[in-house]
Amino acid sequence: MIEVWAPRAHRVRVRLDPGGRAEDHELEPSGADGWWRSDITLTDGDRYGFVLDDGEQVRPDPRSRRQPDGVHSPSAAFDAATFIWSDEAWTGRQLAGGAIYELHVGTFTPEGTLDALSTRLDHLVDLGITHVELLPVNAFNGRWNWGYDGVLWFAVHEQYGGPSAYQRFVDAAHARGLAVIQDVVYNHLGPSGNYLPEFGPYLREGHSNSWGDEVNLDEAAVREYIIDNALMWLRDFHVDGLRLDAVHALKDTQPVHILEELAERVDALSAQQNRPLSLIAESDLNDPTLILPREAGGYGLTAQWSDDWHHAMHVALTGETSGYYADFAAPEAVAKTTQHGFFHDGTYSSFRGRAHGHPLPTAVPTWRLVTYLQNHDQIGNRAAGDRLGASLSADRLAVAAVLGITAPGTPMLFMGEEWGASTPWQFFTSHPEPELAKATAEGRIAEFEKMGWDRSLVPDPQDPATFERSRLDWAELEQGEHARLLALHRELLALRRDRPELTDPDATKIEAALVHDDGPPRARAFRIDRGRLSVLVNLTGDPVGFDVRAGDEVLLATGPIEREAERLTLPPDSAAIAGPRQAVAERMPRTSSA
């Protein structure tokens, strides 16, 4: 059966084989709900599109599973059930105790495809990663893009390999014990190839967010469109979780918020499939409602990103205090975000000009906050797309690694971070339309000029060189400081896996304090106690002493440590982890979910 929701149309035809001997077939309205249906059956690979009213333009299926010739062309039928999976034994992975790795398919490998990505999965396993998170892969206009300009949410971008390659990738990930998280965007549609408004009221006209017209969550069919898409990834592609982009931009006035409705449906699917399915929200609201249980008045999502933790650590490492970083220069910022998750929990935000956020209850497990030192936004939305390594020494990058992996939340690395990749990750697009290309480039420059950045630092997002510069250089892994940093990340992730103190979800067991302050926010020393383990950090220009418990040993250090009785002295720009040596029999066993 062919069906499409098109309440704005008075007539709907499906055009079969639009590139050859085209055949039009009328669809019949089905009641008053806006759906049109036909008994015609499509087989895998059949090309088709819809013609609305009495026009002649062929539009892709709003629920298209494949777009072989791009988002402006007809769709192709795709039968997900034909793939033979080998992950029957896969029981999934809980997010708790995990470590996420965020990557962009197009720039992770030289080939920029899902099949090429599959050949690099052993690197992630050796590193100690448990969850691999892909930036959006749904169909967008052009050859390369971050993915947030998608317009056909059910289709996998053809240049990545399409839906069949996606199935192969997930199967390969599960074979290696890796869970897959897919980044999805439900708060807006891209600027090119969005034909949904011709079919129905998918968007709230006259109401916009930072990226375009709001998605119309007042319409029941649009809500179901979103939920059906989410369930497709989890059910048909065996994905283990979704990262929900910018949920603060989902304006919902209905009695049950779309996020709560989505969480209920995903939980039901999880029970049916007998494996954990995670929903991770990106939100700048500092609102625990997202992750509180539904019986406690929350939405019941699994976790949410923590920008506050990132901002506090970024300021401590770099000393940057402009824009939204200003408040995080406070001496208590690192300790507060480490112990309490949010810095702005009802406090005044100078960037917003108002009080912001709500306290995070101590009963919320610490792993429900995803914490990171770098991600696609925090790098790519800098004028030059520069990583931390562009401004920090190798020693400071090592300290950053200690802070990131020992964080109370669920740590997330951005691709290449583990070896201090020298390649930037810049904002890139490939819009074929000259007007849109020009507007994108000019808008990017104007945005950074408002923030006081030198416009000469802003690369042209349409220049192919901007995309090429953003590809990882895998030859760096075995070179000098890159190799040292990679080895440190492996050691840290192994320690985190073996020492239960580092994944203890109880926030009340965390103590964090400022030990020494030289004045500037990047010249401070901290200690963070996680049960019997102490994370010691010296970001000052002089040696700093830390008291430790009797019998504690140095389990890991990024620089030479001096010891005198129960006092450790760390050199500038160094970190150490101290605690009792754990007997092998006491270590948490490594378990495989595959």
Has 209 been labeled as part of a binding site?
Answer: no
The question of whether 491 is a catalytic residue gets the answer no
Catalytic residue among 171, 282, 327, 418: 282
Has 308 been labeled as part of a binding site?
Answer: yes
Has 57 been labeled as part of a binding site?
Answer: no
Has 311 been labeled as part of a binding site?
Answer: yes
Has 246 been labeled as part of a binding site?
Answer: yes
Has 248 been labeled as part of a binding site?
Answer: yes
Both tokens assigned to 548: 């430790």
CA dihedral 173, 175, 179, 180 (to 10 degrees): 30
Has 25 been labeled as part of a binding site?
Answer: no
Q: Give whole-number Cα distances, 334 to 169, 259, 331, 359, in Å.
A: 38, 30, 7, 16
H/E stretch holding 567: strand 567-570
Say which amino acid occupies 23.
E
3-state SS class at 306? coil
CA separation for the pair 591, 253 (Å, rounded): 44
Has 58 been labeled as part of a binding site?
Answer: no
Has 247 been labeled as part of a binding site?
Answer: yes
- Beta strands, E only, 31-77: 35-38, 47-52, 75-76
CA separation for the pair 343, 349 (Å, rounded): 10
Closest to 280 in 3D by CA, of 326, 241, 328 = 241
Contacts of 541 (CB under 8 A, 6+ apart): 518, 523, 572
Both tokens assigned to 3: 């069906």
Strand partners, 152: 139
Contact 540, 571 (CB under 8 A): no
Has 112 been labeled as part of a binding site?
Answer: no
Q: 119-126, long-range: CB within 8 Å, 24+ apart, which pairs? A: 121/172, 121/173, 121/176, 121/178, 122/176, 124/176, 124/178, 125/176, 125/177, 125/178, 126/490
Q: Give whole-number Cα distances, 142 to 25, 146, 213, 285, 290, in Å.
A: 31, 11, 21, 33, 34
Has 381 been labeled as part of a binding site?
Answer: yes
CA separation for the pair 579, 94 (Å, rounded): 27
3-state SS class at 324? helix
Contact 369, 286 (CB under 8 A): no
Has 377 been labeled as part of a binding site?
Answer: yes
Strand partners, 5: 35
H/E stretch holding 179: strand 179-184
Read off the DSSP letter of residue 59: B
Has 453 been labeled as part of a binding site?
Answer: no
Has 243 been labeled as part of a binding site?
Answer: yes
The question of whether 449 is a catalytic residue gets the answer no
Q: 29-32, long-range: CB within 8 Å, 24+ apart, which pairs? A: 30/3
Contact 109, 116 (CB under 8 A): yes
Catalytic residue among 102, 245, 261, 501: 245
Contact 59, 193 (CB under 8 A): no
* Residues labelled as active-site residues: 245, 282
Annotated binding site for substrate: 243-248, 307-311, 376-381
Annotated binding site: 243-248, 307-311, 376-381
